[in-house]
Amino acid sequence: MNTPGQNDGFALRFYSFARHQFGDELQNDFPRLRSIKGTKALFVIDVFQALGKEERRHLMESCLRRAHGQACALLNENLSETQRERLKSFDELRLATSGQWKYVSLKSKRGYRTLFRSQNRPLPPEATDADFLDDAPAKIDRKIFFRELKARIAGSFGEKPTNCGVGEWLLWASIGECSVALDLDFGGQSAQLRYTQKIRSELFGDFSELSIGHWLGVGELAWDLCTVNDSASVAASVADLANEFVVNVPEFLGS
């Protein structure tokens, strides 16, 4: 059975991991968030890119402190009133723009596809109504998705996912005395895929709702801009996020 001290240790180490990841996202143009083909991830990127260097850092600190209250309380890094107001503005903007932004995907001469946010920048003249992704949603091809995912996470998770029904699938990894789950949700009307991870440990306890949007403090991130050709790239994105998390689990647990 886990003790409060063990939970504190996990909270502090997980907070340190999240800080490092957020800093890396800001420094390297959001490589993880850009791999999530969804409106919420693009919203976060757009907001941070519109800020100056210092304001980015301040918003990052605010998001992290909200997401890691236990660790911040131990470190006496509680949210200030200024940070609360900053988060309120961030949340209000996210709510106000939810479902209102249109993104368009265009193929360049080199074959790359680029997302343009049509509210804040003019669309290229070659854009047509057929290019708007939110007007033409496509389901992820699960056969292609799981084939690619299996190839990329074979060293971490079990090969066979468990079908939990209603579009939900689970994969498990054993790390020492604990188990780590990768929960994939293909159901729902508002997104094509959501993912979370959780840790089960008799010694340290259970930890759930562990996904990059949650630990960065920017809210749930989902794939909702996928086309019929994106199934393999979505699997690659999920695999990279899951593998990076699993590799760090022993450090989170202090084992």
Question: Each residue of 51-63: pLDDT tens digit?
Answer: 999 999 999 999 9
The dihedral formed by the CA atoms of 136, 229, 116 and 54, expressed in degrees to the nearest 10: 120
201 plus 246 within the same structural domain? yes
Q: Is 234 left (phi over 0), alpha (psi -120 to 50) or beta?
A: alpha
Q: What's the mean pLDDT when you consider all of the chain?
A: 83
Range of the domain at 125: 103-134
115 plus 36 within the same structural domain? no
110-162 pLDDT, tens digit per residue, is 443 444 444 444 555 555 554 544 444 578 899 999 999 999 987 788 768 88
187 plus 66 within the same structural domain? yes
- Mean pLDDT for 66-81 is 95
Q: How many CA atoms lie within 13 A of 194 on its CB side?
A: 17
Q: Choose one of 93, 116, 134: the last residue of a domain.
A: 134
> What is the DSSP code (8-state) at residue 225?
-
72 plus 51 within the same structural domain? yes
**Rounded CA separation 51/47 (Å):** 7
107 plus 130 within the same structural domain? yes
Angle at 40 between CA 249 and CA 101, to 5 degrees: 170
119 plus 192 within the same structural domain? no
Q: How many CB atoms lie within 10 A of CB 98?
A: 12
180 plus 191 within the same structural domain? yes
> What is the number of structural domains in the chain?
2
At residue 248, the pLDDT reads 92
Q: How many CA atoms lie within 13 A of 164 on its CB side?
A: 12
28 plus 114 within the same structural domain? no
Asked if 141 contacts 231 with a C-beta cutoff of 8 angstroms, the reply is yes
At residue 93, the pLDDT reads 83
Question: The pTM is what?
Answer: 0.81
202 plus 173 within the same structural domain? yes
88 plus 22 within the same structural domain? yes
Please choose, from the candidates 52, 85, 67, the residue with its C-alpha nearest in 3D space to the C-alpha of residue 22: 67
Q: Is 94 left (phi over 0), alpha (psi -120 to 50) or beta?
A: alpha
Amino acid present at 232:
A
141 plus 175 within the same structural domain? yes
123 plus 244 within the same structural domain? no
At residue 4, the pLDDT reads 39
